[in-house]
Structure 1
Amino acid sequence: MSASAITPVLQGCVAALASVACLFFLSFWRSTRDRFFVFFAASFGIEALNRLHMGFTAQSGEDGPINYGIRLLTYVLILVAIWEKNRPKR
């Protein structure tokens, strides 16, 4: 099997694991109602959709500017969640 044939399979695996992480954080959000977990769930959900899209399209490389932009968005969501959790309470 060539490397180009296995790439969609690996993208699907990463998408599945990101979906599991999204559901994991959503379950914590349901029990605590803490926005921290919503940000993390959204980040992993967006990443799962991005990986799924990369696996089904012909352009499955990670080096496209749109893929970098989406990954930047997910990392910013995680940083906002951490910042919001650690800022002083009023």
Structure 2
Amino acid sequence: MNDLITGAIAMASLVIALFFLRFWRSTGDRLFLWFALSFGIEAVHRVVTALTFDEHEDSPWHYLIRAAAYGLIIWAILEKNLPARRRKRGGAG
């Protein structure tokens, strides 16, 4: 039963990653690219965990992989909301 739920979470993460990739391709906004990468990492992590029959998800590697995925989401939000550093100088303002 646990593998079934893990597979469902992996499939959902992969589908979400594919949706974000499609949005990135149509808009060119890097926010969608970072989100797609984050959900892709989560999907691969779930599949590898299920295939290696690792019942103990309390090892530091699991936390580091998830922290990296969530860190990408935080980075994407910060990058979207922080002012751009590359502004044209000498403009009208």
TM over 0.5: yes
Letter in 2 for 1:40: F
- The match for 2:63 among 60, 64, 68 is 68
Q: Does 1:19 align with 2:17?
A: no
Corresponding residue for residue 34 of structure 2: 39
Task: Give ranges in structure 2 of 5+ residues lacking alignment.
Answer: 88-93
Stretches (4+) displaced over 3 A? none
Instruction: State the secondary structure of the residue aligned to 1:28.
Output: helix
Question: Normalized per residue, which structure has more helix?
Answer: 1
The farther-off stretch of 59-68 and 77-86 is: 59-68
Residues 36-75 of structure 1: per-residue CA shift (max 9 Å, x gap): 0000000000000000011111213332211110000001
Corresponding residue for residue 57 of structure 1: 52
Contact 1:7–1:60 (8 Å) recurs in 2: no
**Structure number, greater radius of gyration:** 2
User: What TM-score do you get using the length of structure 2 for normalisation?
Assistant: 0.86
Sequence identity percentage: 48
The farther-off stretch of 58-67 and 19-28 is: 58-67
Q: Does 1:86 align with 2:75?
A: no
Task: Give ranges in structure 1 of 5+ residues lacking alignment.
Answer: 1-5
CA RMSD of aligned residues (A): 1.0
Instruction: State the secondary structure of the residue aligned to 1:36.
Output: helix
User: What TM-score do you get using the length of structure 1 for normalisation?
Assistant: 0.89
The CA deviation at 1:12 is: 0.6
